[in-house]
Structure 1
Amino acid sequence: MTLVQVAFRDECAQLGAVLRTLDDADLDRPTGCPPWTVRELLAHVRTGVGRLTGMLAAPAPPRAEVGAADYFGAAKFTPSVDADRVADARREAAALPDRDVLAADFDRAWRATDAAVRAQPPGRLVRTRHGDAMTLADFLTTRVVEVGVHGLDLAAALGRTPWLTPTAAEVVAGLLTGGREIPAGLAWDRLTLVDRLAGRSPLTEPERALLAAAGFRRLPFAG
């Protein structure tokens, strides 16, 4: 398997393991992604990891037009798109009433995606629900970003140590840095890099200057 496939499996398996330790009080906690609760954010992540099964059942586009970094464009975070995203997650969470149902549904979703991905030929292309034509590898990278970064949100909401797996950290950090080295002046590991560039912790002015000089980008949903 490729690194991104391993990262997807690792991060989903880790989140699934955490999910099975939660109780109703945990699921009803607020998150740093308002107005979502932990339950609603998990429903959003579950939907995100399951998208590829339908995409792979559809005809492939003739060519890729968008890469993984460009997928997270500002157009996907307009007020109307955000409102739909919030409403969808709340509706889906209502259909997953308890921890066991949510855990089982998440497990089915990511494992079905994993199986569908492994059945594809090299170079497979897909079209997203937004109309983006991408390589399968690039879209799977965006799924690792979704599970990994929202895993940071969930860890913060639950008061737990972040569980970002090494493979997912490598994939997400590579996307955010364009494969370049982290500036020595930052002294960050990959987890810290992802946390900062995903807007989960504030940046100091010197950090902002070093990031700008390095040409690193923050995710549009980082704020």
Structure 2
Amino acid sequence: MDLFSPSWAALRAAVAGLSDEDFSRPSGCRGWLVRDLVCHLVIDAQDVLITLATPADAEPTRDAAGYWEVGAVPDGEDPLDALTVRLAAAYGEPWLLAFHLDDVGSAAGRAAALADPSARVSTRDQVLTAGDYLSAYVLEWTLHHLDLVAHLPHAPRPPAEGLAGSRALLERIAGAPFPASFSDENALLVGTGRRSPTAAEAAALGELGAGLPLVLG
């Protein structure tokens, strides 16, 4: 949970530093421009606010790793993905989208800082502690920060501690550690299918490679 605030702040700062032209460049999310990704982040921030305001009395059914469900590679037919693209285009001016992310994102950050880590919250028919829920979102922020800067070499990259924490969580989801030869960033990129492993990386992965990529949803 301690990694949530710095990871989220770094991602929002990276968006705030983009030029208007950057919003029209490709992102690391297949089929999405940077503006589409930023619109998705607005929706993510709303989800954080909604979940933290949805208390639960039941015992937790998932932890931070269990929050994520591993599915198939997207086929581009998801209606929610298509809605995100249309919504992003509806903003018209990039500054409006950036302003909305800063507004809602700041509120989500404040709500997270005020949350009791042991409190139980409900989302997607699951019950988690607030601490586990926010820890799960560190992986979301870090992966999307990598998506944001995939074609923007001038933009700041995710903080090292967020990369390390996200790698550790992804390894829990995978059920095995990535090779020590992999940097945290490469473990995340290869592990989630954001790029294919090189021949040397594939050899180092061994049996773990057969279960990749881990498409998280």
TM-score, scaled to structure 2: 0.81
- Kept after mapping to 1: 8 A contact 2:27/2:149: no
Whether 1:196 and 2:193 are equivalent positions in the alignment is no
1:208 alignment counterpart:
205
Cα offset, 1:189, TM superposition: 2.6
Letter in 2 for 1:131: D
Single out whichever of 166-175 and 70-79 deviates more from structure 2: 70-79
Which consecutive segments of 4 or more residues in structure 1 shift more than 3 A? 74-80, 159-162, 179-184, 210-213
Partner amino acid, structure 1, of 2:15 = L
Q: Name the counterpart of 2:67.
A: 71
1:102 aligns with 2:97: yes
Give the paired residue count.
Answer: 212
Helix, strand or coil at the partner of 2:87: helix
Q: Which residues of 2 match residues 3-22 of structure 1 at below 5 A? A: 4-5=1-2, 7-22=3-18
Contact 1:61 1:127 (8 Å CA) reproduced: no
CA 1:12–1:97: 2 relative to 1, 3 Å: farther
For residues 13-92 of structure 1, the aligned pairs below 5 Å read: 13-74=9-70, 83-92=78-87
Q: Is the 8 A contact 2:71 2:216 kept in 1?
A: no
State how far apart, in whole Å, the 2-side matches of 1:131 and 1:76 are. Answer: 21
Are the aligned partners of 1:11 and 1:147 in contact in 2 as well (CA < 8 Å)? yes
Distance 2:82 2:182 in 1: 36
Aligned-pair distance for 1:109?
2.1
CA drift at 1:61: 4.2
Q: Which has the higher helix share?
A: 1
Are residues 1:173 and 2:202 paired? no
Q: Give 1:131 deviation, angstroms.
A: 1.5
Q: 2:13 is aligned with what amino acid?
A: A
Return the alpha-carbon distance in structure 1 between the equivalents of residues 196 and 153 of structure 2. Answer: 18
Which residue identity does 1:206 align to in structure 2? A
Question: What percent of counterpart residues are identical?
Answer: 27
Gap regions ≥5 residues in structure 1: none
Per the alignment, do residues 200 and 79 of structure 1 end up closer, same or farther by CA in structure 2, a change over 3 Å counting? closer
Q: 2:145 aligned to 131, 142, 151, which one?
A: 151
What stretches of structure 2 of length at least 5 have no aligned partner?
none
Residue of 107, 119, 122 corresponding to 1:112: 107
Cα distance 1:79–1:192, how it changes in 2: closer, same or farther (>3 A)?
A: closer
Which residue number corresponds to residue 124 of structure 1?
119
Question: How many angstroms apart in 1 are the aligned matches of 2:61 and 2:121?
Answer: 10
Query: Are the counterparts in 1 of residues 4 and 134 from structure 2 also a CA contact under 8 Å?
Result: yes
